[in-house]
Structure 1
């Protein structure tokens, strides 16, 4: 296990590499406002056991990575994708297997479309097409307007009610635990001790916890790169989606499967929009390792 800071332009990004350097690399790309350690150690250890080296990293504005003055230097999804490429470059990896969660899945899609030579395979977890802008969809739902039939569905009414009930709640550990519980849903047990331990570790290592909120603003910087057709993706693709995901309902995973040629959709029964349930990290690791052909490699 090695922790290293790498450069992405003027920024420093915290990274961690686990496993043998001569094994196939899996780059784990976290979701919005999430540090790299959001990926449970059990998932990482299982991937290493299956023959991979694993790299996880903190996005800009999270964890131990650089903090950005967003007003002066706004950034979008393509900039976060450039950070992921900087991580691969720093480890001298011409390509890697990418596994992206939620916003990290959109970053992984961007790379598979625009930097296809760097992507050996693609695993998209709990995410949505990179061109989808959830902001207007969520706003319509939260103000009681009917859903746009031409858009992908909004979060579930229960999750929207959670957001409404928690509006104005002071930020802190208890609020974060409540959010993770709501994202987990009731389909699988919620491992609250594991979530608390992860969140406490995140709080202790965050340079500026408030900076992660900048990720909610990346939708302001849009370009034609986000609307490039996913049909151009040539990398072997697996889509892993929970049938109880309250943020991106299963229709989002199905839309990805329909858009990416040859993509395989694996529906995880009872899974919500989080991976802190007993046995779930290992299950997801097995899906990544099996569907990227890592078993027996190295």
Structure 2
């Protein structure tokens, strides 16, 4: 039976929930979730593939999600650098000097920040469903929402369907648990895209568990504010990253089209790029968690072979 250990760690005044799966003597993989998503967003199926490959896996709830501390953002605003500091606090709490960092969406930007500013903590980097951390998507979004043609010199905006969904959600004010769950399941449906089946039961279980395990579900929206805040540290050249890097992106990502992943891979020296046919911006399609687990495991095996 695979060993599982829950541990709360401190990051400054915050308390973060973490879970370690696997043999504590194995090399560590740190899974960093995306915007507004707690650590349980990493499916057990993906985790189990990595553990079977000889790694211990650490996943955690970001601040403002799950069982971790919720923050008054107006009184105590935070940035991507603060979220990266939480990630290093998680490693410290588990006694890990350096880990293989795997980040999805906002977690991919956090991984880039660590690889650029704290290279001693990053053995390898896998960045999924993300783009360069120094790129601001705001102008492309504004042009798209104003009905203007995309700027050919900029990375593309989200799909029209996703932007229409956001506009629709902005007019809703879900107050009950059922309303919150229904709205968020629909968001994941749109993020999944239409090329691959959408595992609605899995998405619903995740949304319900995310709602039930936090004291303030609305706090997760603070991640959008932090993610959009472009600070000078985010402009660090990605060409400085020395960690072996794999960039993974879905060909049907409606939030960050494929060009975002290609742009990121183009900025990191000697990085490898892997496009996943049909994948959108979610892990809620049957078979995708296992497939991603195997892709990451192959990257870690390649890293080990290069080090031997």
2:59 paired with 1:59:
no
CA contact (8 A) 1:96 1:118 kept: yes
Aligned partner (choices 254, 257, 260) of residue 246 of structure 1: 254
Aligned partner of 2:8 in structure 1 is 5
Q: Pick one of 131, 145, 161 that aligns with 2:164.
A: 161
Partners of 2:136 and 2:230 within 8 A in 1: no
Output the TM-score relative to the length of structure 2.
0.93
**Counterpart position of 1:140:** 143
Q: Distance in 1 between matches of 2:211 and 2:302?
A: 34
Pair 1:269-2:277 in alignment: yes
Root-mean-square deviation (CA, aligned residues, Å) is: 1.5
Partner of 1:115: 118
2:256 is paired with a residue of what secondary structure?
coil
**Post-superposition offset of 1:70:** 0.9
Contact 2:134–2:230, Cα closer than 8 Å, also in 1: no
The alpha-carbon deviation at position 167 of structure 1 amounts to 3.0
| 1:192-271 equivalence runs, <5 A | 192-219=200-227, 221-271=229-279
The aligned residue for residue 15 of structure 1 is 18
2:91 corresponds to which residue?
Answer: 88
Misfit runs of 4+, over 6 Å: 294-297
Q: Give me the whole-angstrom Cα distance separating, in 1, the residues matched to 2:131 and 2:302.
A: 25
The 3 A distance-change label for structure 1 pair 220 and 236 is closer
Alignment deviations for residues 28-83 of structure 1 (CA, whole Å, 9 cap, x no partner) = 00001111101111111111111110000011111111111111111000000000
Name the CA distance, whole Å, in 2 between partners of 1:254 and 1:52. Answer: 28
- Given the alignment of the two structures, is residue 175 of structure 1 paired with residue 183 of structure 2, yes or no? yes
How many pairs align? 297
In the alignment, is residue 42 of structure 1 matched against residue 45 of structure 2? yes
Deviations 1:5-40 (A, max 9, x none): 100001000101000000111100000111110111
Structure 2 Cα separation of the partners of residues 47 and 276 of structure 1? 18
Deviation at 1:124, TM superposition (A): 0.5
8 Å Cα contact 1:128/1:248 also seen in 2: yes
Query: 1-side partners of 2:153 and 2:297: how far apart?
Result: 35
**In structure 1, how many angstroms separate the alpha carbons of the residues matched to 2:48 and 2:147?**
44
Q: Which runs of 5+ in 1 are unaligned?
A: none
2:108 and 2:128 in contact (8 A); partners too: yes
What is the CA-CA distance between 1:258 and the residue it aligns to?
Answer: 0.7
1:278 partnered with 2:281: no
Shift of 1:166: 3.2
User: Structure 2 vs 1, CA of residues 282 and 208 (structure 1 numbering), >3 Å: closer, same or farther?
Assistant: same
